[in-house]
Structure 1
Amino acid sequence: MRTVTIGCMSIVILLTGCAAEEVQNDQETENNQEEHVQAETEETSITIGAAGDVLLHGRVYKRMEENGEYNFAPALENVTSLLEEPDFTIVNQESIPGGEDLGLSAYPSFNSPFAIVDALQDAGVDMVSSANNHTLDRGMEAIHNAVSYYEEIGMDYVGVYKDDEDAASPRIVTVDGINIGMLSYTYGLNGYTVPDGHEYAVQVIDQEVIREDVRNMKDEVDVLMVNMHWGTEYERLPNEEQKELAAFLADEGVDVVIGHHPHVLQPMEWVKGKEGNQTLVYYSLGNFYTGQDQKYTDTGGVATFEVEKEEDETIISEPNIDFTQVVPGPENEYIVKPMAEADHIPNGGETEEELRDHVYQWIEE
């Protein structure tokens, strides 16, 4: 009986086990389907950061030299967290880093040490934009030197190029599954002209060229950013040309515009495009690291915004600026600090509260 009973129990258990397995399989199928649907609708979110002008005057780089070597890490150590925190950060490398062998120089024709690029990368910068009025200060040799060094250390770059193939290669960076497209243009080149045969080197603002570039890249990326070197130096509000170009870029469907050149902070604004889209425009992020001493030129900001991707939709939100200030260091060198930690009165006498009111005046908080 025991054997038979055990046998009967085994059969029951076996049959029950089969039924349980079927139920389990059904549940697993349902779970897999739910997970698949969830994966399809799951949002991906990243933070993108951008900082202002890196323009090395002689008084800046000379004070960071010791025994023939340049080290800018101490100048940036206090703002590393601001640069590292975003998932992707770009800055405007305004003075071309053509290296020491070419001969360092400052205003009016800049050439900076390679070491500034190392310091920016170590501090958390992922890409530099180099289309600006100082790009051709020291000619094509400086550009080629800079690009070679960017490539040597693995620093992404946009706005200067080594040849036609490099210029034609789209700048698309993928971060956590989100494709970021980058373009970069300048209003001019301080009277210099691009040498014949080197038209690839840097792109001056031309609406037809920009329109074509934007349309070629737009469908390949989730968020399209355009760096614009524009505006009037030392003016705290954008001029009419900036406003017109911002409207043009919005009409073309650009997602974010990062502005440079005025060397002072200007407001940010949502600009409505002709298709009803909203383009986030930072008209000017001011100076990030420089030796300028005019009013308002020692303060700048690290801009951030959120990018959320859900299926085919990308949402830009949470525009912000963390204010920075260039202050004297312990050896009277130039260093950058978060403005909240700076114990030095800015050249313009502005407070952090005043700056916030200034840059947010066209943004509804």
Structure 2
Amino acid sequence: MTTSYTTLTISEDRTVAFENQLQNKINQGSLALLVALGYRTGLWKVMSLLEHATSSEIAAEAGLKQVYVADWLTAMQGGGLVEYDPIFQTYRLPREHAEVLTGSAQYEESLRWLTLLGKLEDELAESLRAGAPLSDETREQILQAQSAERSTSFTNQLFQQILPLIPGLIMQLCEGLDVLDLGCGDGRLLLELATAFPESRFVGYDPSAELIAQARESAAAQGLENVAFIERELTAIHAINAFDLITVFDVTVAPQEREEMLQAVQMALRPDGTLLLRELACSRSREENLQHPLSALLLSICSLRNLTGVERPAAGNERGREALCSSLTAAGLGNLEYRLLPEDVLHEYYIARPGVAAETSLSAETAF
């Protein structure tokens, strides 16, 4: 008996094309890490303030060694981020590039996730092999990274773009509101708000004892009396008609806990109160997620959330704006608006109030 096999041929052209594509992706990944290094060392800020400068001048302004800065500049030149004048041996960051790199915090914050994923490579690989969530220590690192995102740049964005999403909110804060921030982390966001709006009263909840301790120390050091920080699970608000505004920025909870948290939010809000929520720009639709300009990073963050154990893996029907809108409506927060900011491609913003809308629309308005 003779067995016939079909000979499978490999296209040499396709193999070469894919290898070139892979090399390009590896090269771009390395370039992204160096772009992140430029943020961490302040080089992008320095270059945005200089017109034409040598590597020595740039290094001196940044307080770094010239030999290392020269290599970084060469890589940035090769990646097309900076320009080089071979006659005068000077580098220049075009104003158009500077506007994108330093005009908002979104890319600096996005790259923090990339570097975090690199640091956690061993833990992520072990978690995948074991089919188990990440360790408590690693989860704490992720919480610290999320807290670090609430940087000065994010605070500026909050005042300039996020709070204005709600007409009249800044004026109301000046006059005096009761505000709760769920998942406040180390409290830096609330401290800025408490300083800017002394007539308002602020409370921050977070389950991390370490972060709450940091927040309390900072508040005491600044002598702020209109802000308080409480170690508490985010589903346990324990308040009725107590807050005019509740903010929830990038809080990671399991689907069931999200339902409980939003129900507690609805009870804690006053009848004319508002929930302002920021979440990843993620959809239930796989095809839509792949169309996102930062799709690989977006899906990497979603995977990281799964591995923390607070989101069930493969819970595609429980993830994304569709599931979130459904949860908000079920919690009695159906008076809902969904907004996008041009300065923040990774996130979506939800403005929800107590009530039931006739129909919840998923088409977003872009705020300028």
TM-score between the two structures when normalised by the length of structure 2: 0.29
Give the number of the structure with larger relative contact order, counting CA–CA contacts within 8 Å between residues 6 or more apart: 1
Higher Rg of the two aligned structures: 1
Higher-strand-fraction structure? 1
TM-score between the two structures when normalised by the length of structure 1: 0.29
Higher-helix-fraction structure? 2
